[in-house]
Every structure is written in structure tokens, then in C-alpha cells.
Amino acid sequence: MLRTHTCGELNISHLGQTVTLCGWVQKSRDLGGTTFIDVRDRYGLTQLIFNTDTDATLREKSRELGREFVIKVTGNVIERASKNTKIPTGEIEIAVTDIEVLNAAKLPPFLIEDETDGGEELRAKYRYLDLRRNPIRNNLVLRHKMAQEVRKYLDKLDFIEVETPVLIKSTPEGARDFVVPSRMNAGEFYALPQSPQTFKQLLMVSGFDRYFQIVKCFRDEDLRADRQPEFTQIDCELSFVSQEDILNIFEGLTRHLFKTVKGIDLGEVPRMLYSDAMRLYGSDKPDVRFGMQFVELNDIVKGKGFSIFDNAELVVGINAKGCANYTRKQVDELTEWLKRPQIGVTGMIYCRYNEDGTLKSSVDKFYNEDELTNWAAAFGAEKGDLMLILAGGADKVRKQLNELRLEMGSRLGLRDKNTFAPLWVVDFPLLEWDEESGRYHAMHHPFTSPKPEDIALLDTEPGAVRANAYDLVINGTEIGGGSIRIHDRGLQSLMFKHLGFSPEEAQKQFGFLMDAFEYGAPPHGGIAFGFDRLASIFAGLDSIRDVIAFPKNNSGRDVMIDSPSTIAEAQMTELKIKTTV
């Protein structure tokens, strides 16, 4: 080793020792006849001292060192005159006796400090420099610890880690595939896996019983803060289990991670029906760190001559506690926020429960104070509260009110990143109607098993069929999801039929799986956790990018290596492909 210690290791117990450190120059301070240099590695930072009286030549050499120079220094550990209690090495410094420049460095394009002056795009271009900063490095260390704890927990429960292929077959369900041309099979393409779904089911057919994999997955879809074209899943599958078994095992994994990585006792994870989540929160991934549940008002507001309410399929609202003092300007600003195209509200009704006990609404022309008292009773409102109400088509208005609820939660400081509220959402619909294609699609994927008691509804009322499916939600973010799978050919064929596949299409796309079911497939089910999302929640981040070493931007580009890019014409010819761009 070039060094005897790391830059975060030395303390008062090492006084008098001669040590050698290697690292990067963090900063240099020239004070009269003395130069102080902070040298940094991934473990921490140590202060070096050079003094003209001790060695003038060495001190002059130290003054030539710039930020991010890679250096090797040898010296004696001495006690600092001015101690820094904020860092582990703050009681000592190194009186340097020898210095070697291992590599000089250009001046970095941004400060490599916890608080940097570099913008997001600049830091992405020089990601290898951004990764030197403590916040980013700490995120990746956190991710590493989480991965190790996942493996420890699952290994103790007899899970086997198995790698599945990355070059697979393109299938029509789910998001768009990334495709890879095959040189040896001209005109044919592999796809990169959106998940190892069929392979982990085949492992169950193979008798592996309990499988897991921390695996890369790929989806060609529009990006946002919690999406990347390539992402990582904790992928798991088990045989001879019920839904309850899976929820208990992976609730245990979640509690284990919170305890071992963050030191938090999470407690039991509550469960909520999908139907209740949509009715009370307008979302299948509700943030339950705060209340503000939906209150439906159809029975008490219709028939009073106010056409917006009378003509609406659903009138529904939330009670913003303590917000009756919102000014008209604040309410108007909130209404304009809701009118943005992303949300599409045409207007909002409000009612203040004033501190003097009076009720004042934006529709007083249609509703007297006695009627507004009924509103307040429905909301459980108290003096000082503000009732916010939307009206329209049921599905649309619930989604809009969900956005309003989350925004009010943020404005009122109710979405603390250091508070964690996990939730299982269960009994999802098996199918959802797609207006564009004019047919049903699998809400999760086509291998999800319907509730046995609902199978008869597939022919008569497919939209009412419930799935043996479940999602783990933390703080309003879907962290993981899974289901009990179909494990016999007959039911899988029926499922494909209701998804619009002809028998020939189903055989072409998924015949290998249905054929396998005829050789003694066990009942099985599983779950996949979004590892990037889980790590970002543990790190208190809104975006998953900073828990990924080399992420893509919102256009799916890696601006550091300039990818994607064109390839040589000779490669195109060899692959027998042409572009029409």
C-alpha cells in the first residue's frame, strides 16, 4: 500500500506516529510562514501543516499544490493548536516531512464541496468529479449498505441469488422495450428485460423455491425524477406461498433495512384496499404521513341550484386544518396552480370556518350558513379550518384532489422526509381499460392471478375482477409491487384471451412459459422492490439520480460519455440495419 492510514482514520491516540497518507488536495491556506492543506480521500479529511522554520523548501513546494492535486505525504502526527470538533481527525494534524505529487490536476469546473456552485448539467458532465463530493459519495455508501443487508436478510431465509439473461425476447405488454440487433441472426432483435418476470417464474417451475436478484432492468419510457431508462430491482419469487406469506416476509425485509441502515424501528405496516386508497386519497400510492382524507359531499350539496355541483358526478373535498386565515390572494394563487395543464382543474370552491364561528364560502349565493354548517360537520372542520372542494367526473376529480392534497401537505410542512409512513395497498383491479387501444390491459402484468372468487367475472364484468396483487408504498412513493402468479396453462390462456391475444399470438410470445406450466408448476408469487427509489427515500432525496453512480438526464442521455450516439457505417452494414432519421 502507498499509505499507512486513510485520511479519516487518525486521531489523538496516534500522536507521535510517523504516517503516510494519499489523497486529493481539498483546499490550501497560506498564513505567513505556515501553509495548511486539507487532504481528502473517501474516508475523510486530514489537515497537513508546512512551516518555513521547519523546512522552507518543503513549504514552498506545498504552495504549488492546487485543488484536486493527488498527493502522497509522510509526516508526524501532532496535536492541533486550534481543534475542529466537527470532524473525527479534528484534534490532530500532520507535520509533513516529505511530499510527492502523484498527479497534478486542472482547476475543477465547480467547487468539490458539500455545497457546490456547480449546476446539475455541469455536474452531470463531470460526474466523476461530482462523485468526489461527500453528499453523493455518502448516497452510494448508503446504497451499498442497503444491498448488503438485503442479501443478509434473504440468505437467512434460504433465498438463492440467481442471475437471469439480459438479452431476451421482446414482448408486447408493459413499457417499450430497448432492442438490440443480432449480427448472427440478421433482421432479428433481442430485447433488454423490463424485469426478469418470466425467468423467475421458470425458476419456480425448476424447483428453486426461493429466488432473489439485485438486477438491472430497462424500460424505454418518458423520464422523470424517479425514473431512469435503466434501473435496479430487488427481484424475488417464492413457491408454495400465499399473499399473506409474501407480505409478512417483505414487510420484515423493509423493517430490517430501516433498523440496520437507519436505526429506525418501523413497526407493523398497515394495509389498505385499493378501493379505499382511491376513495380516501385519489391515489393507489397515498402519502399517509398526514390525514386530510377526502370527504364526498354529493348528498349534502346537490339540488341547491348550483349547476357545477348539480351536474358533477362527484363533489369531493379536503379540510386544510388551520388555513382559514388564507387570504383571497392565496386562495386565488392555489386555484391557478390547480388550473395548470398538468392538473386541469377549471375552478375550486372553498369555505372558511372563521375563528368567530361564522362560515364564509365562495358560493354563499347558493348556500346559507345552516347548509355550510352541514359541510363543516361532514369535514369534521373546526374554527380556523379551510375546506377546499372540487367537482367533476369521479376518476378525474379524485386525481386532481390528490394533487391538491399533496400540495397542501407540502405547504403545511406535513411531508417531513425524516418521517416514514409505509403502507401495503392490496386487491388491485386485475385489468384496466385503455381508451386508445379499445381493450383491457393488465394493471400489473399478464401473469398476475385473479382472486379465485372473481374468475367467473372475467367473461361478464372484467373491470370488476380483483387481482392477488399488492404494492408497498412509503411516503406516497411506490417502493415495490408484486402478485400471486398464474401457474396453470388453462387460466393463463384465459388471461391472454381477455387481454386481446389470439391463441397463436399468445403461443408465439409466451408459449415457452405456458409449455412449462404443463410440467408441474408449483403455486408461486413474488415481489420486486425499486431499489433506486428505496435508496433515495433512505437518503432523503426527491430524485433517484443521486443514488445512481452514473445516471441519465431527462432526455435519457449520459452527457458525460455523450450517449446514445451514432455508430460507424461499417457496424450498421454488419448488423444489416438502416436508419430513416
Phi/psi class of residue 520: alpha, beta or left (left: φ > 0; alpha: ψ in -120 to 50)? left
* DSSP state at residue 484: E
Q: What percent of the chain has pLDDT over 90?
A: 86
Question: What is the pLDDT, as a whole number, of residue 173?
Answer: 60
pLDDT at 222 over 70: yes
pLDDT at 438 over 80: no
pLDDT at 120 over 80: yes
Average pLDDT on 477-495 reads: 93
Average pLDDT on 369-391 reads: 96
Distance between CA atoms of residues 538 and 142, nearest Å:
8
Long-range contacts of 101-105 (CB under 8 A, 24+ apart): 101/65, 101/69, 101/70, 101/71, 102/22, 102/70, 102/71, 102/72, 103/69, 103/70, 104/66, 104/69, 105/24, 105/25, 105/66, 105/67, 105/68, 105/69, 105/70
Per the annotation, does 530 bind a ligand? yes
Per the annotation, does 221 bind a ligand? yes
Average pLDDT on 147-174 reads: 93
pLDDT at 501 over 80: yes
Q: What is the pLDDT of residues 534-549, one digit of tens each?
A: 999 999 998 999 999 9
Distance between CA atoms of residues 309 and 349, nearest Å:
10
Distance between CA atoms of residues 338 and 296, nearest Å:
19
Per the annotation, does 532 bind a ligand? yes
Question: What is the pLDDT, as a whole number, of residue 432?
Answer: 85
Per the annotation, does 444 bind a ligand? yes
Q: With cut-offs at 50, 70 and 90, classify the pLDDT of residue 203.
A: very high
Question: What is the pLDDT, as a whole number, of residue 79?
Answer: 97
Question: What is the pLDDT, as a whole number, of residue 67?
Answer: 96
In angstroms and rounded to an integer, the radius of gyration of the C-alpha atoms of the chain is 30
Question: What is the pLDDT, as a whole number, of residue 502?
Answer: 87
CA distances from 553 to 230, 477, 530, 562 (A): 12, 20, 19, 11
**Among 264, 316, 536, 292, residue whose Cα is nearest residue 414:** 292
Per the annotation, does 478 bind a ligand? yes
CA distances from 304 to 3, 301, 315, 387, 407 (A): 82, 7, 13, 19, 30
Range with the poorest average pLDDT among 135-139, 206-210, 337-341, 435-439: 435-439
Q: With cut-offs at 50, 70 and 90, classify the pLDDT of residue 172.
A: low
Question: What is the pLDDT, as a whole number, of residue 62?
Answer: 95
Which H/E stretch holds residue 144?
Answer: helix 134-156
Cell of 326: 388564507
User: Which sequence spans correspond to the domains of the chain?
Assistant: 12-103, 136-164+208-271+422-570, 290-412
DSSP E strands, 420-522: 422-426, 431-434, 439-442, 469-474, 477-484
The whole model's pTM is what?
0.91
Q: With cut-offs at 50, 70 and 90, classify the pLDDT of residue 509.
A: confident
Average pLDDT on 441-461 reads: 88
Per the annotation, does 176 bind a ligand? no
Per the annotation, does 17 bind a ligand? no
* DSSP state at residue 465: P
Per the annotation, does 220 bind a ligand? yes
Per the annotation, does 531 bind a ligand? yes
**Among 25, 23, 18, 24, residue whose Cα is nearest residue 4:** 18
Indicate the SS3 state at residue 236: strand
Query: Over the chain, what is the mean pLDDT?
Result: 94
CATH of 290-412, one of 3.30.70.270, 3.40.718.10, 3.30.1360.30, 3.10.20.30: 3.30.1360.30
Question: What is the pLDDT, as a whole number, of residue 225?
Answer: 66
Q: Does domain 12-103 have CATH number 2.40.50.140?
A: yes
Burial of 413 (0-12, 13-18, 19+ CB in 10 A): exposed
Per the annotation, does 228 bind a ligand? yes
Distance between CA atoms of residues 463 and 514, nearest Å:
24
Cell of 208: 428453486
Cell of 46: 486530514
Q: Which CATH class is domain 136-164+208-271+422-570?
A: alpha beta
